[in-house]
Amino acid sequence: MKVFISWSGQQSREVARALDWWLPKVIQSIEPFFSEEDMPKGRMWFSTLAKELKDAKAGIICLTPENLEKPWILFEAGAVWKSLEDHVFTYLYNLKATDFSPPLSEFQHTTIERTDTLKLIKNINSLQEKPIRDSDLEEIFGIMWPHLDERLSSISKEIKEIQEPSRDNEDMLKELLSLAREQNKLLSDLLKQNQSDQNLDSRIKDLSDELKQHRSVHPLGRPPFSD
């Protein structure tokens, strides 16, 4: 089961990297998608994003005080939500659920505390075709939680986010408009892919129906010999 992990900024990247390492150790069927590059350049990334979101069953957005209003995290959060809807979770580092305004306030928030993280794991586990029993999952979680807690605790609170030069409102609006256009293209590509898949499924069903009809008339799979 693929889980999409979104991040922006140095602290957020370290949280995402910790989850990328830890999640498959708790639920072995999980295949995290985690990109090492923050806000990759070029349209190739948007194609990758569309593909990974199409295959994902859940999304985790790693939020820190530094990235709450960064255009890239808002763009990617929107794309993840549009694709996965109710299966999107935020993971809060040095934040509380009350620290948000829309649109981020609409998500299911999870803090990095033990109890909250267990709830997140149980939610993700429930999305599997064959979920792990709660008692077994809690046992595995109990063994692995200290390792994640240690990694999260070691993330330096002194990490300095890359400082961007001050920009005027016009520059910021241009960047947001560009990201909005890319998001619209991404969603359009996802819809086209879904429509293509539906058309293929419909064609396969039609062919299957034709084959069944043919066999009902000619049980041996070919017309009978004529005299």
In a domain, 43, yes or no: yes
In a domain, 86, yes or no: yes
The CA-atom distances, in angstroms, between 30 and each of 26, 91, 185, 208, 212 are 9, 17, 28, 34, 39
CA distance 29 to 23: 9
Hey, which of 2-11, 72-81, 115-124 has the most confident mean pLDDT? 115-124
SS3 at position 92: strand
Which is more confident, 130 or 100?
Answer: 130
**Tokens representing residue 188 in the block:** 């359009």
Q: What percent of the chain has pLDDT over 70?
A: 62
Tell me: pLDDT of 140 over 90: yes
C-alpha gyration radius of the chain:
23
Tens-digit pLDDT profile for residues 80-120: 767 766 788 999 999 988 887 777 777 778 999 999 999 99
Mean local confidence (pLDDT), 153-178 = 56
Contact 149, 118 (CB under 8 A): no
Does residue 155 belong to any structural domain of this protein?
yes
From 105-114, 140-149, 162-171, 200-209, the region with the lowest mean pLDDT: 162-171
For residue 21, being part of any structural domain is answered with: yes
CA distance 57 to 73: 19
Q: For residue 123, tell me if it sits in a domain.
A: yes
Question: Which residue has better confidence, 144 or 78?
Answer: 144
Q: Is the pLDDT of residue 222 over 60?
A: no
Using alpha carbons, list the distances in angstroms from residue 11 to 6, 63, 78: 12, 9, 21
* φ, ψ at 61 (rounded to 5°): -110, 115
Give the chain's mean pLDDT: 76
The confidence score (pLDDT) of residue 105 equals 74
Range of the domain at 121: 2-183
> How many Cβ atoms sit within 10 Å of the Cβ of residue 87?
20
Angle ∠(143,118,98) on CA atoms, nearest 5:
140
Q: For residue 87, what is the domain's CATH number?
A: 3.40.50.10140
Q: What is the pLDDT of residue 9?
A: 86
Structural domains of the chain, count: 1
- What's the chain's length in residues? 227
Burial pattern 6-22, b for ≥16 Cβ within 10 A else e, equals: bbbbbbbbbbbbbbbeb
Percent of the chain whose pLDDT exceeds 90: 35
pLDDT-based confidence at 27, cuts 50/70/90?
very high
Please say if the pLDDT value at position 198 is more than 70: no
Residue 200 maps to a domain:
no
Query: What's the rounded mean pLDDT across residues 139-144?
Result: 97
CA distance 168 to 173: 9
**Token pair listed for 85:** 């809807």
Supply the pLDDT for residue 173: 56
- How do residues 45-67 score in pLDDT, each as one tens digit? 667 777 777 888 899 999 998 88
50, 55, 60, 65 alpha-carbon torsion, rounded to 10°: -10
Query: Facing residues of 111 across strands?
Result: 92
In a domain, 42, yes or no: yes
| 209, part of any domain | no
Q: Please give the Cα distance from 85 to 67 (Å, whole number).
A: 21
Q: Which residue has the higher pLDDT, 166 or 36?
A: 36
